Structure 1
């Protein structure tokens, strides 16, 4: 347990720590009804995503690894050819280049996407929000 919570610094911080209020992050919309609010760390990105009802994130691929965590609501998520309804507490693990997409029906969905490395298509927006 002490190894997990070690206080011995064996390296140099890559950036100062900071706090972010997600509601203060300007949303970016690539598809109507789908809002992204990316938060950037030096090597990882967390993207807070809100789906309106009847909204589709089209099937796509990218080189960044992604973990999707549903916080509230639900959506139909397609991962590598398999579609299932995801609800609060459900997680999808998406390795590089694996096809995936999602859509809401008569509900909204709030979820978080974690990207490593940070998702290139959101990088400029995230840097601007971080003040870089």
Structure 2
């Protein structure tokens, strides 16, 4: 894993990676301890239920998200956030289209693998 991002990242210069299924992501900064990622969801796109060893805090920048954490579902709107503990099963459906800001600790190594 690359040790850390540049000190300054500019949106127009930072790659936006297509993930398929109506999802795209852009790295906003990371080192080995923390990673912040912007994720775009097309209308109706789904972040399928999964789990990982990382703590995660997600902030809703825009749109409406039906978020599931360990089987509990809540509707999150702009300005809302959620805390996902390590190994908690979680996922989200975005009926409107929207943007999330995800923060992970430690950094998601799998996001940086080629």
Q: TM-score range by the shorter chain?
A: 0.7 to 0.9
**Post-superposition offset of 1:39:** 2.9
Look up the match of 2:14.
25
Aligned CA distance change for structure 1 residues 38 and 17 (closer, same or farther; 3 Å):
closer
Aligned equivalent of 2:104, options 84, 100, 115: 115
Aligned to 2:56: 66
Between 38-47 and 52-61, the greater mean CA deviation after superposition: 38-47
Residues of 2 paired with 1:76 and 1:32: CA distance?
Answer: 17
Secondary structure class of the residue paired with 2:43:
coil
Q: How many residues align?
A: 111
How far apart are residue 65 of structure 1 and its match?
0.8
TM-score by structure 1 length?
A: 0.75
Q: 1:48 aligns to what?
A: 38
TM-score (norm: length of structure 2): 0.86
Identify the residue that residue 34 of structure 1 maps to in structure 2: 23
Structure (1/2) with the larger strand percentage? 2
Once the two structures are TM-superposed, the CA of residue 116 in structure 1 deviates from its matched residue by 0.6
Gaps of 5+ in 2: none
Q: Which residue of 1 aligns with 2:77?
A: 87
